[in-house]
Amino acid sequence: MGVGKEQVCKLVNELKPEIYRIATLIGRNPELGHQEHYAAGVLTGFMQEQGFSVDVGIGGLATAFKAKLGRGHAGPSVALLAEYDALPGVGHGCGHNLIAAASVGAAAALARLANLPGTVVVMGTPAEETSGGKVTLAEKGYFDDLDATLMFHPGSQNVSEVATLALDALEFIFVGRAAHAASAAQCGINALDAVLNFFVGLNSLKKQLPEDARVSGIITEGGITPNIIPERAVARLYLRAAKRRDLDELREKVIGCAQGAAGMIGAQVTWRKFELSYDEMCSNRTLADIFTKNLRFLGVAKIIPVQTAMGSVDMGNVSRVVPAIHPYLVLGDGLAIPHTREFATVALSEEGGRLAVLAAKALALTVVDVLTDTRLLHKIKREFSAAH
């Protein structure tokens, strides 16, 4: 069946006041990850008004939700993802209020297309900035029955295909033996020395790592007082690499360093992950190309083909279980730096609202393409199968 692109744009334009209202409400009431109760309330309330059935608190996450258009149409399922967490001190300095407004705006427009086949879902995914809700939802299978997922993120360039780094957050706990630092030093085992040895080892290791690997760390515990040989010392590291398998290898090398550092003075070491691990973003190129084509239709001229971002996003974990894209679109003049008050101010301005409407159109047009063009969906899936 044919759904006219102009018709989709007209429907999104009709929803402009709602999109602005949602972007502003969430923008003015910033909430940290897993505390986004107000935002989740605004979004799920709107989804219900638009005829979606809503489940709140999915996956054991109080502020996660799934909104599904219950028309019972046969065909594929596509999910638009909404983020809505803010940052401490700078409010919506990452512009997640616009992500949420665009995704629910697009979904509401799609709900008005009576003949649209398939199923439209909005997944509310909390805490992107801290312990990624998408990681938990992906692990618990919430994306398994979907055929494609997409969202947009405000940024400084228009780009549909993005690569990000896989990330592990590791804590190493070194245990030695306490002793009087002057009168009985020979009885002690200095856990702080083990950590210092560890960092020396890491510095050697770093010289032999591939260019895209990153090891950064801090010492979070290094003893209690100078007259006791430190019995316990703790270090926290972020390890990053372009691919999960490279990161798994890097992690083993780093663990080897820690064991060597402990072993050389007779200390013990254990390790654990102190935050959820993010996988690299594996953008589906076919889906990204459709998004780009729709951006062009909407008059966006300057689009760069691929961006390798040196950060990490929890959409990476989603991209391993279902074809996914995480495009960026220019917010304002593109000069505001993410995670700043300036970025939050633009995200709350008229320019922010305009971007959310543009993004809603690009998302809605892309969902229509995926739901109505069987050959395209096959191509998306073939590409996904080949990559996983």
Would you tell me which residues interact with Zn ion (CB under 5 A)?
94
Q: How far is the CB of 128 from Zn ion (least distance, A)?
A: 6
Residue nearest to Zn ion (CB): 94
Q: Whose Cβ is closer to Zn ion: residue 111's or residue 325's?
A: 325
Q: Whose Cβ is closer to Zn ion: residue 147's or residue 314's?
A: 314
Residue that the structure tokens 């398939």 belong to: 118
Q: How far is the CB of 155 from Zn ion (least distance, A)?
A: 9
Q: Whose Cβ is closer to Zn ion: residue 162's or residue 380's?
A: 162
Q: Whose Cβ is closer to Zn ion: residue 92's or residue 379's?
A: 92
Q: How far is the CB of 6 from Zn ion (least distance, A)?
A: 31
Q: How far is the CB of 153 from Zn ion (least distance, A)?
A: 6
Q: Whose Cβ is closer to Zn ion: residue 43's or residue 94's?
A: 94
Q: How far is the CB of 61 from Zn ion (least distance, A)?
A: 17
Report the chain's terminal Cα–Cα distance, integer Å.
31
Q: How far is the CB of 83 from Zn ion (least distance, A)?
A: 6
Residue 203 burial class via C-beta count within 10 angstroms: exposed 0-12, middle 13-18, buried 19 and up: exposed
What Rg do the C-alpha atoms of the chain give, in angstroms?
Answer: 24
Q: Whose Cβ is closer to Zn ion: residue 23's or residue 94's?
A: 94
CB 330 within 8 A of CB 156: yes
Residue 6 burial class via C-beta count within 10 angstroms: exposed 0-12, middle 13-18, buried 19 and up: exposed
